Amino acid sequence: MKLGFIGLGIMGKPMVRNLLKAGYEVITYDIIQENIDKAVSWGAVGASSPEDVAGKCQTIITMLPNSPHVKEVVCGEHGVLQGASEGTILIDMSSIAPIVSQEICKACLEKGVRMIDAPVSGGEPKAIDGTMAIMAGGDRAVFDEVYDTLMVLGGSVVYCGEIGAGNTTKLANQVIVALNIAAVSEAFALSTKAGVDPEKVFEAIKGGLAGSTVMNAKIPMIMERNFNPGFKVDLHIKDLNNALATGHGVGAYLPLTAGVMEILQNLHASGFGGDDHCSIARYYEKLAGVEIK
Ligand code: NAD
């Protein structure tokens, strides 16, 4: 089966690789030519624009940074909607504002293009393994049609509701991850400053109630001083911005999210925007005058 794929970043590249391994013929585009060349070296076919991708396949995945990028790629000049034929399915797997998913879906339907939002959780390691958690919203029949393709990329694929429900679920996920990294960082700054070896603290508590997937993934990185992304501070700022705006829109208040947002903004201003979000630990390290290592 032919599949279009637009956005070959940290996540998009391994996803394309898995689709190729599963036997899909992948037509792909990114604004960075080097990323297209990489995918072509694995067997994908390069395209010259989103319009070109859409002219060549009837199912298209987008994996882009944020709402404006998806809007441009789908609705902009030489965008997907300029090349797509009626009946095309767009699977947007980027993490964007739910309200923008709804707007883009409306524009798609006017051209006879069906869309679901299907953001992911799990980061680069799970994108490589093809075991991401995928949360989807949109027309149930369209979801059922693309379920097998999503299962190539994910270990679990859950239908969450109407268009935008996937991204609302993803915002909940991102709030939990950000707050969990902050909690882990705060606690390890305390125990390190108080003189206990962080490796011992990790070993002692990871199997108890405080243990978490976040702690297992991020504490080893922090202790090794490995802040390579992973998931960038700037992308988490984007997600928390979307969470706060969505919360204000529906009347749900997110005081802890707002607090962690200030930490992320400080990291961005300190030049760490492109580093992994476990850099939150560096903020606490600076406050306590200690390194968790
Ligand atoms: P990234 O910045 O590494 O990759 C984004 C890619 O999109 C880049 O290759 C960029 O060149 C391309 N792009 C940007 N504008 C474009 C355009 N107009 N046309 C074509 N290509 C364009 O980001 P990522 O880490 O791969 O994340 C992608 C999405 O997945 C984001 O929404 C992110 O929040 C989400 N996500 C990321 C992770 C993670 O751990 N990295 C985990 C879960 C979800």
Domain presence at residue 13: yes
Residue 52 Cβ < 6 Å to ligand 1: no
Residue 245, C-beta contacts closer than 8 angstroms, at least 6 positions apart: 97
Cα 66 to averaged position of ligand 1 atoms, centre (Å): 8
Which residue is it, tokens 């919203």?
137
- Cα dihedral value 183, 189, 190, 195, nearest 10: 150
- Is residue 72 lining ligand 1, measured as CB closer than 6 Å? yes
Which of 119, 102, 214 is CA-nearest to residue 158?
119
Q: 43: domain CATH number?
A: 3.40.50.720
Task: Determine if ligand 1 sits within 6 Å of the CB of residue 30.
Answer: yes
**Residue 177: in which H helix or E strand, if any?**
helix 165-193
SS3 category, 24: coil
Pocket test for ligand 1, best of 28, 61, 63, 92 (most atoms within 8 A of CB): 63
Tell me the DSSP string of 64-118: -SSHHHHHHHHHSTT-HHHHPPTT-EEEE-S---HHHHHHHHHHHHHTT-EEEE-
Q: Looking at 170, 218, 232, 238, which residue is catalytic?
A: 170
Q: Are residues 71 and 184 in the same domain?
A: no
Query: For residues 26 and 57, is the Cβ–Cβ distance under 8 A?
Result: no
Does any ligand 1 atom lie closer than 6 A to the CB of residue 31? yes
Q: 157 alpha carbon to ligand 1 midpoint, in Å?
A: 20
Average pLDDT, 10 consecutive residues per value, the chain (293 residues): 97 98 98 98 98 98 98 98 98 98 98 98 95 98 98 98 98 98 98 98 98 97 97 97 97 98 98 98 98 97
Structure tokens at 218: 């991020």
- Residue of the CA atom closest to atom 25 of ligand 1: 10
Alpha helices in 194-277 (DSSP H): 198-205, 213-223, 233-250, 255-267
232: which strand partners?
276
pLDDT of residue 72: 98
pLDDT value of position 84: 98
| Cβ of 272 below 6 Å from ligand 1 | no
Ligand 1 atom 13, closest CA: 7
> Domain of 145?
2-163
Amino acid 12: pLDDT: 98
177 and 143 part of one domain:
no
Look at residue 101 in the predicted model and tell me its pLDDT. 98
Quote the CA–CA distance of 226 and 282 in Å, as a whole number: 11
* Domain end call among 163, 190, 218: 163
Q: Do the Cβ atoms of 181 and 284 come closer than 8 Å?
A: no
Task: Count how many domains the chain has.
Answer: 2
Among residues 163, 190, 212, the one where a domain terminates is: 163
At 205 the pLDDT is 98
Whether 21 sits among the annotated catalytic residues: the reply is no
Among protein residues, the one with the nearest Cα to ligand 1's atom 5 is 9
Amino acid at 96: I
- Phi then psi dihedrals of residue 115, to 5 deg: -135, 140
Please give the pLDDT value at position 22. Answer: 98
Q: Where a domain ends, among 163, 187, 213?
A: 163
Question: How close is the Cα of 9 to the center of ligand 1, in Å?
Answer: 5
Same domain, 152 and 187: no
- Is the CB–ligand 1 distance for residue 76 below 6 Å? no
- What whole-number distance in Å separates Cα of residue 120 and Cα of residue 156? 10
> Does residue 121 have its Cβ closer than 6 Å to ligand 1?
yes
For the CA of 235, the closest atom of ligand 1 is 34
pLDDT value of position 140: 98
Do residues 59 and 199 both lie within one domain?
A: no
Q: Which residues pair with 134 in a beta bridge?
A: 120, 157
Residues 118 and 188 in one domain: no
The pLDDT score that the predictor gives to residue 33 is: 98
Ligand 1 in reach of 9 Cβ (< 6 A): yes
